[in-house]
Structure 1
Amino acid sequence: MTPGSLLRLDASDGLSLECATGFASKLIIYGLLLSGVVTSAYSVQALPSASYSARDLREQKEVGLAEAIADTPKTTQNPEVPPPATSPLDLDPQLIESSPVLQRWLDQVPDVLEDIKRDPSFRTRLRLGYSSFASSNRAGGWHVGLEDVFLGRTGLTLSADYQASFNGRRKAWGADLRYYVRPLGSHINLAPVLGYRHLETSRYTTEGLHVGARLLLVPSRTGAADISLTQSWVSPGTGEEVGLTTLSFGYALTRNLRLSTEIQKQNARQRKDSRVGIGLEWMF
């Protein structure tokens, strides 16, 4: 076969390669055109059908949702039906019996704010300490006392004390009732004082009714710290009247023990006396 035969067959074959190539090319072109037309026609016919089906499906979903909402039963609360009662706490009976506070809360929920107001901001105290009688040549002595014993859950308290010098020239003792007019939990309180008192010095002796007033300041509750000022008179309105001015400070060292300081002025017609005391107080 010659190079020319690559492009053209021998004449004896009666057909040229050029004709064959041209005929095959036309068949390929016609096939491609036919395939494109068929595909286009199918796409044109299928698109409206697919679009219609999606729209129908969407409409069916909306209709079904509306019917489901309409068929859902509506619940209304009957105002005549009381709310369900709360069930009691599931607690160990032994725990309840051993806790008065828990028993009180289960019986009735207390008014906590009111309890804070009524819970005393100061405590009952037993005191013992050293006293210096400056006006009696700075004679040393001692003092003991019981302060603010609560009589019930009221503002009424009972106090008593005794003081004496080691040389026997000074002596005083007495007992008083105090009634705190404000709630016991207040940081500032006022109490009238009524009682009996005996006073004895080297120059005079007097005893009788003891009346006055006491101002109490409590910067820190439950006995942690307080300041009190008491002005009172023994045998008021008589020739033996004696005025007493007492300033006291207290500061807690531990939960039940605290340090106390007391300064007292004793004014009588015969002379003026003074006393300074320092000691420890045990709080109940």
Structure 2
Amino acid sequence: MRRFCERAQAVLSGGCLALTLISPGLGVSIAQADEPNPAAPLPGSELDLPPEVIEASPVLQRWLEEVPDVGAEIRQDPSFHTRLRLGYSQLNGVDGFYLGVEDVFAGETALTVSADYRQNGDREAYGADLQYYLLPLGNTVNLAPVVGYRHVELDDFSQDGVNLGLQVRIVPSRTAGADLTLSQTWVAPFSDSRVSLTEVGLGYAVTGKLRVSTDFQWQSSPQQHDRRVGIGLEWMP
């Protein structure tokens, strides 16, 4: 009996399956061990890399801890950047200049802030707007409602107040190498003397930080219609 029991005791596959025959009268006991082998290597430890290489690479450390969702990051990583703008403008044949900042991100949200100032002769235009992008920031095409404040001057009168509208942005290059922006807004939209602002902007990168941009703007009010053309430089911090 003793010899029979000793031959019936076995441990297979390093402890993964244990088969024990206690005695002919008591039957068979089978245990499946699901717990991992404590001697198994930790994730990433099989990489033949010096410890200092891993410590010097935040990206490698992150991938060793958890494989990121690269597709989701691409969709959320903005395809456009904050830009500082300075350039020449012409309004109805009158020379001038403009300066401003575009798309300052509010943290990691889809909300951005833009502001600008333009002067042509004795006529000024300035304002600040909020844009909230409705689609993932990494999209090639995006749509954003615009709300802000704007002051515009025409030959016969000036108008200021709430600026409401919509912006469409097309970014064929994720590195901000080129983009096209279309916007339509109205200054003091609920008044009889509201001013319509239609703008088309083009930007093209000449270096990793510097871009050349052009914009065309049409101002329309019940009293008159104006056209503004601008060309300048954009710096991406």
TM-score range, shorter chain: 0.7 to 0.9
- Percent sequence identity is 48
Task: State how 1:26-37 maps to structure 2 within 5 Å.
Answer: none
Partner SS, residue 130 of structure 2: strand
From 31, 34, 40, the equivalent of 1:80 is 34
Structure 2 counterparts to residues 1-284 of structure 1, below 5 A: 78=17, 80-82=34-36, 84-86=40-42, 88-89=44-45, 91-93=50-52, 96=55, 98-134=56-92, 138-165=93-120, 167-168=121-122, 170-284=123-237
Q: Which has the larger radius of gyration?
A: 1
SS in structure 1 opposite 2:135?
coil
| Secondary structure at the counterpart of residue 220 of structure 1 | coil
Partners of 1:115 and 1:100 lie apart in 2 by: 16
How far 1:201 sits from its partner (Å)? Answer: 2.4
- The residue identity in structure 1 corresponding to 2:100 is G
C-alpha deviation, 1:222, in angstroms: 2.1
Return the letter of the residue paired with 2:36.
P
For residues 183 and 94 of structure 2, the distance between their equivalents in structure 1, rounded to whole angstroms, comes to 24
- In the superposition, the TM-score normalised over structure 2's length comes to 0.80
Evaluate the alpha carbon distance shift between residue 145 and residue 193 of structure 1 in structure 2; reply closer, same or farther with a 3 A threshold: same
> 4+ runs of 1 displaced by more than 2 Å?
73-79, 81-96, 98-109
- What TM-score results when the alignment is normalised by the length of structure 1? 0.68
Q: 1:207 to 1:91 in 2, by over 3 A?
A: farther
Unaligned runs of 5+ residues in structure 1 are 1-72
State the match for 2:20 in structure 1: none
DSSP 3-state at the match of 2:168: strand
CA distance in 2, matches of 1:185, 1:139: 39
1:169-214 deviation per Cα after TM superposition (whole angstroms, max 9, x unaligned): x210000000000000000100000100011122110100011000
The structure where strand makes up a greater share of residues is 2
Between the two proteins, the alignment pairs up a number of residues equal to 206
C-alpha separation between the residues in 2 aligned to 1:74 and 1:205? 90
Deviations 1:68-100 (A, max 9, x none): xxxxx985954624263435545435862x544
Equivalent position SS for 1:236: coil
Cα distance, 1:152 vs structure 2: 1.1
